């Protein structure tokens, strides 16, 4: 049986930014330098501007930035891979035709998870040669899924080297990153990095609130 997996386009697009969004030059410069690592972790509780920072970076960067905003419904492996394909198809409409075909199969004829995943990873080899970053936003809402963890482990190990994984989460993802850290392939932004420094606080009050801070 053939069925099309329903995809919400808003989940695979970087969120729009408000006109008054503060340009955090310090962090944007950091991302420009680190974005070619295998993994970029952006980890902090809600309210630290994780998503806003990456959305701002995506509109300024020369790197192709793919986006997947996760919710609890993405814990199923079929939906997770379908959204990964959709995130890439926003930029490359003809990407992964074989994976897309396999995902349409349902019922008794549906292929197993690892068969679809292997096909998807092979088709990632068709990505253009220029660097690409895949942002997984709100990863913490699905990181208890065995399927999602398995898929991410395989992607980190086998996806083309030109693909960077940007993991936005409220907590450390349960992924085996020790080897990549030892190779210098993991860059991290944490709560202390995302806090406004004195210059950014002054910039915020000046540009957003039209107020000058007392020296």
pLDDT in tens, 60-78: 999 999 999 999 999 999 9
Give the pLDDT band (50/70/90) at residue 1.
very low
The pLDDT of residue 2: 44
**Which of 83, 113, 87, 85 minimizes the C-alpha distance to 99?**
85
pLDDT higher than threshold 80 for residue 5: no
* Residue showing tokens 């850290």: 181
Least confident of 101-115, 127-141, 157-171, 182-196: 101-115
Quick one: what percent of the chain has pLDDT higher than 90? 82
Pairing of strands 64-69, 132-137: parallel
Q: Which two tokens stand for residue 185?
A: 């392939």
The pLDDT of residue 20: 77
Select 28-207's CATH number: 3.40.50.1220, 2.60.40.640, 3.30.70.260, 3.40.50.300.
3.40.50.300
With beta carbons less than 8 A apart as the criterion, state whether 152 and 175 touch.
Answer: yes
Q: Which two tokens stand for residue 3?
A: 């069925």
pLDDT higher than threshold 90 for residue 156: yes
Give the pLDDT band (50/70/90) at residue 212.
low
Q: Which two tokens stand for residue 179?
A: 């080897």
User: What are the extents of the domains in the chain?
Assistant: 28-207
């Amino acid at each position: 049986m053939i069925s099309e997996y329903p995809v919400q386009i808003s989940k695979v697009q970087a969120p729009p930014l408000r006109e008054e969004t503060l340009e955090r030059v310090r962090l944007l410069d950091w991302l420009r330098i680190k974005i070619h690592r295998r993994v970029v972790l952006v980890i902090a509780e809600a309210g630290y501007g994780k998503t806003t920072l990456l959305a701002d970076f995506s509109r300024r960067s020369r790197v192709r930035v793919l986006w997947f905003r996760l919710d609890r419904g993405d814990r199923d492996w079929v939906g997770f891979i379908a959204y990964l394909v959709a995130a890439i198809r926003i930029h490359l409409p003809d990407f992964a035709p074989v994976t897309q075909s396999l995902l349409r199969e349902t019922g008794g004829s549906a292929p197993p998870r690892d068969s679809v995943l292997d096909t998807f990873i092979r088709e990632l080899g068709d990505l253009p040669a220029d660097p690409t970053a895949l942002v997984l936003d709100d990863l913490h809402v699905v990181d208890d899924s065995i399927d999602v963890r398995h898929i991410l482990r395989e992607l980190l190990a086998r996806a083309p080297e030109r693909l960077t994984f940007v993991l936005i989460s409220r907590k450390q993802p349960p992924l085996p990153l020790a080897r990549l850290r030892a190779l210098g392939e993991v860059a991290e932004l944490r709560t202390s990095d995302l806090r406004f420094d004195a210059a950014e606080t002054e910039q915020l009050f000046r540009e957003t609130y039209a107020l000058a801070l007392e020296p």
